[in-house]
Amino acid sequence: MRIAIVSSSFYPEIAGRMLAVARERARSRGAEIALECSVSGTFDIPPVADALLARDDVDAVVALGAVIKGQTKHDEVISHATASALLAISVARSKPASLGITGPAMRERQAYARIRPAAERAVDAAIASHAALREARA
């Protein structure tokens, strides 16, 4: 299985750690990382995920990032819009786009605590969804 990873660099230390964990998890699960892309913020992930899923050498996309609560509800808007767009892209392409984006309503220390579980589960979800789709098509 070949996955692509697209990550948000808005919080570079968090994103870098999430990417390292996702690489480690993919390797341990026997998945090949075909491509890695970085975007500025999580809102920028869906168009790149769509382009990656359009490729024949990519079976699934893992989206990584963190949306941290500020003084407004902007974190909720970004989180919901990004998750909805990723779901729509996944359905349209009939390939998994897994959600390894933490938030909304999360503070920075919570984002750090969620690095490993979010990145690992996103890779696991991409692999499991790909297998389920293959089975459904058989």
Its pTM stands at 0.96
* 103 Rama class: left (phi>0) / alpha (psi -120 to 50) / beta: left
The C-alpha atoms of residue 61 and residue 6 are separated, in whole angstroms, by: 7
74 classed as catalytic: yes
Which of these is catalytic: 74, 80, 107, 134?
74
Structure confidence by residue, pLDDT tens digits, 32-70: 999 999 999 999 999 999 999 999 999 999 999 999 999
Q: How many CB atoms lie within 10 A of CB 70?
A: 8
Length of the chain in terms of residues written? 138
String of DSSP letters for 66-82: E----SSSHHHHHHHHH
Q: Report pLDDT for 135.
A: 97
Structure confidence by residue, pLDDT tens digits, 65-85: 999 999 999 999 999 999 999
Structure tokens at 118: 């979010």
Question: Closest by alpha carbon to 99, among 70, 75, 129?
Answer: 129
Please list, in sequence order, all residues whose beta carbon lies within 8 angstroms of the beta carbon of residue 54, skipping any fewer than 6 positions away.
Answer: 93
